Each structure stands twice: as C-alpha cells, then as structure tokens.
Amino acid sequence: MIMALSFSLRTIIITAFVLLTTTASSSSPHGFTFDLIHRRSNTSSLRPSTDDYGSPYANTVFDSESSEYLMKIQIGTPPVEIEAMIDTGSHLIWTQCLPCQSCYNQVAPIFDPSKSSTYKPRRCKTHDHSCPYELVYAGKSYTKGTYVSETVTIQSTSGQPFVMPETLIGCGHNNSGLVSTTSGIVGLNWAATSLTSQMGERFLGLLSYCFSGTGTSKINFGANAIVAGDGTVAADMFRKTNFPDFYYLNLDAISVGDNRIEMLGTSFYATDGNMIIDSGTTYTFLPGSYLEQVKAAVESVVTADRAPYSDALCYYSNTIEIFPVITMHFSGGADLVLYNNNMYVDKGGIFCLALMDADPIHMAVFGNRAQNNFLVGYDPSSMVVSFKPTDCSTLF
C-alpha cells in the first residue's frame, strides 16, 4: 500500500529522522521470526498512488478481493497488543491513539498514551514544538497525528520477545479508511522510521516473508531472513531518487506459456527499476498498453467462453488448469514462474486474470497475491530480492 506525501510533509519527516534514535534490545539475537495473520477485506483494496487517491477496484470485478497480512505488536508500558498490516510500501509504524478526533472502529481497544509510562511526544521545529504527520494512502485512507517515542514489543515464534525501547511511531488521532481488524500499519520500506530500519544495524535490513493464501504466514528479520537453496531465483533490487524508500524490481518481460512479451521497445522499458514490490497491495499492476499485450497472449491460448466483465479478462470454467502459466522475467536473471493461483482469481465458476491497469498516473506494482507461496527475501547489502517456491502454510 503506497502513500502520497506533500513537500511540506516530507520536510517534517526529515526533521523527525534527525530526532530518531534506534535502540533495539541489547539481549536480542540477530534474527527473529514472527507470525502473520492473513485477512480478506470486504472493502475495496487500496490503490498504489503518487498523487491521485482514487480506489482501483470501485465498481470492478475485484471489489471484495482485498488481501492483507497482519502482525501482532505490543505498544507501551504496560504493553497493549494490536494487529497492524505489514506494508513494504510504507515508512511508518502507526496505530490509532486516544484522544480521537476521528477514528474508525477497530476490534482491539484504541491505544491510550496516558496509561503508558514510556510514552514521550517527539519535538520538532514547529511553532508549538509538536511533530505532526499526515499520510494519505491510495483509496482515500489516511492517518493524521503526531510522532511519538514508545516501546514496541513483538513476540517471536521462539517465545522470546523482541523489545524496541524509544521507537519512533505515529500516534494517529484522525484516521479513516482501514478495516476494523486493522489497528494501524507497520511500515517496512527503506525509510529510517520503518520497523526494519529501527530494529538496528545488527539486522542489516534483512527481511523476508512467506504469504499463505489462508491461515498463518511468517515474517523474518536479520539472520532468519536469508533466502537460499534449491529453486531460489534472485532479482536485482533498485532504489530511485524520486521515491527512494520503495523497493524496486526491473521487469524485463512476461511470458504467457512460451510466448515471451518483451518490455524492450515500450515506454515502460527501464534498466534501473520499473516496478515496486509491495506487500500491502493485493494485485499486480501493469501499464495499460503492456497489460493489453499480456491479455491478448492469454486470450490466444484459452478456449473457454468469456465472462461478461468489461474491466477484467474473465472466463467461465470449473478448473484453473485451462489457463497458461505466466512467468515474470526480472533483471538479474530471475525467471519467476508463477502458480495459477497467483495469477488467476476464482470467483466460483468464473476465473479472472489477476492483473490490473496501472494507468499513466499510477505506479506498476508487484502485489502480494502474486507473491503467495514464495519465500520472498530482501537483501539491501546485495541489492537483490530472492524468491524461493515454498508451501507457506507448512512453516512453523
């Protein structure tokens, strides 16, 4: 899930970076694994956006198909447990906080800073020394509040808690647009305010996760996040100056069966990153002209009857096996063969191609559905994203 920021807000965030101190627990080992919870939303998914906040799924066949992955974290002293969505397209850990000017309903109690002995407001160079933030996500979701310092605790699968004192988080007092199962967001991108960065230098920014379509999934940090072994493919990872906190891949081509559709010669072609990999966006977005070529290649293979949806390529079928295998070819020699469930949505007798149009305003995104049942690892030191085919539901 990708956010849009104004120039003035970027200035405030930079100020906050100066004040940030990263202090992970000194007794912690260099690697941790945490459980994730897969949730499906009945609301429209949140569209990746740079400056337009419209929902991509409003009035489309994909309206109720949003997927999100949540992790339990504890905030404050004594600790209050919340469930927050993990998001490699976001830079901040935030949760709803009292007093609420306007908060959406959530399942867990809203965090009350007055009851925490470790809560400290951050000070910025504003007229009242407060440190405000405002983040607008695509789909018109937003959070407004203040940067604060607080203790964040996460329970690892080994039973050992990972404690992060004096962590910079956002205390949201005016929030809208997320679903009630979600108390906030855990940002995981390059930024200094993300969870990954605030874990400390010993973890080297190493991050991996394994998304199961149902049930419990896993997220790993540090030594536990290394992805290697049989079947692993590694794609080059890029940073771009205009959006330096996102993780970029470079898509060279897509194969539909044996039909390889090259990016070379299109306006989308690049050698320094042309697609964001994002855990907080459900579907994969491609530029419209290139998407049409991929759709045409699928149509040339599938012989089933078309279902009457104008906004998606859908067919009547009682089996997913009629559809061609789709392979993403990323720079670095990573030929990622996707499972049919990654690329086709089963709507009960109708299957739809799970690719969407990234119009000229919006970014191309490799979403979380396409990443299901891969162990996906981010290695900033080597600048690669690795993919290892894995039955994520069997990980313990």
Question: Domain span at residue 174?
Answer: 3-225
pLDDT tens digits for 265-315? Answer: 998 999 999 999 999 999 999 999 999 999 999 999 999 999 988 789 999
Q: Tokens 């930079």 — which residue?
A: 14
In a 3-state reduction of DSSP, which class is residue 117? Answer: coil
Amino acid letter for position 196: T
DSSP 8-state assignment for residue 115: G
CB 336 within 8 Å of CB 375: no
Cβ count within 10 A of residue 267: 10
Question: Do 37 and 170 reside in the same domain of the chain?
Answer: yes
Last residue in a domain, options 203, 225, 247: 225
pLDDT value for 107: 87
Question: Do 218 and 247 reside in the same domain of the chain?
Answer: no
Token pair of 173, please? 């007092």
Amino acid letter for position 371: Q
Weakest-pLDDT range from 64-68, 77-81, 226-230: 64-68
Question: Do 194 and 211 reside in the same domain of the chain?
Answer: yes
Judge residue 117's burial from the number of C-beta atoms within 10 Å of its C-beta, 0-12 exposed, 13-18 middle, 19 or more buried.
exposed
Using 50, 70 and 90 to split pLDDT, how confident is the model at 338? Answer: very high
Q: What string of DSSP letters covers 240-289?
A: -SSSTTS-EE-EEEEEETTEEEE-TTSTT--SS--EEE-TT--SEEEEHH
The yes-or-no verdict on residue 317 having pLDDT over 90 is yes
pLDDT tens digits for 244-268? Answer: 999 999 999 999 999 999 999 998 9
pLDDT value for 95: 97
What is the chain's alpha carbon radius of gyration, rounded to the nearest angstrom? 21
Question: Do 56 and 168 reside in the same domain of the chain?
Answer: yes
Question: Do 180 and 208 reside in the same domain of the chain?
Answer: yes
Q: Which of 41, 137, 46 lies closest to 356 in space, CA to CA?
A: 46
| Model confidence, pTM | 0.88
Question: Do 28 and 167 reside in the same domain of the chain?
Answer: yes
Distance CA 65, CA 312 (A): 13
Question: Do 106 and 241 reside in the same domain of the chain?
Answer: no
pLDDT value for 325: 98
Mean pLDDT of 44-67: 44
In a 3-state reduction of DSSP, which class is residue 229? Answer: coil
Regarding beta strands 233-236 and 384-389, do their DSSP bridges make them parallel or antiparallel, or are they unpaired?
antiparallel
72: phi then psi, degrees, rounded to nearest 5? -85, 125
Token pair of 91, please? 């830079």
Q: Which of 247, 266, 256, 252 lies closest to 190 in space, CA to CA?
A: 247
pLDDT value for 61: 64
CATH code of the domain in which 199 resides: 2.40.70.10
CB 384 within 8 Å of CB 237: yes
Question: Do 219 and 242 reside in the same domain of the chain?
Answer: no
pLDDT value for 46: 31
pLDDT value for 19: 40
pLDDT tens digits for 205-250? Answer: 999 999 998 777 999 999 999 999 999 999 999 999 999 999 999 9
pLDDT tens digits for 342-387? Answer: 999 998 899 999 999 986 656 899 999 999 999 999 999 999 999 9
Domain count, the chain: 2
Active centre residues (catalytic):
87, 278
Last residue in a domain, options 225, 260, 285: 225
Question: Do 281 and 249 reside in the same domain of the chain?
Answer: yes
More confident call, 175 vs 26: 175
CB 112 within 8 Å of CB 26: no
The yes-or-no verdict on residue 45 having pLDDT over 60 is no
CB 344 within 8 Å of CB 354: yes
pLDDT value for 368: 95
Q: What percent of the chain has pLDDT over 90?
A: 72
Question: Do 387 and 243 reside in the same domain of the chain?
Answer: yes
Question: Do 149 and 250 reside in the same domain of the chain?
Answer: no
pLDDT tens digits for 155-164? Answer: 999 888 999 9
Token pair of 360, please? 């000229």
Q: What is the mean pLDDT of the chain?
A: 86
The half-sphere exposure of 207 on its side-chain side, counting CA atoms within 13 A, is 23
The yes-or-no verdict on residue 5 having pLDDT over 80 is no
pLDDT value for 48: 32
pLDDT tens digits for 10-33? Answer: 333 333 333 443 334 433 448 999
Last residue in a domain, options 225, 259, 275: 225
The yes-or-no verdict on residue 53 having pLDDT over 70 is no
In a 3-state reduction of DSSP, which class is residue 140? Answer: helix
Regarding beta strands 184-187 and 80-87, do their DSSP bridges make them parallel or antiparallel, or are they unpaired?
parallel
Question: Do 241 and 158 reside in the same domain of the chain?
Answer: no
More confident call, 256 vs 63: 256
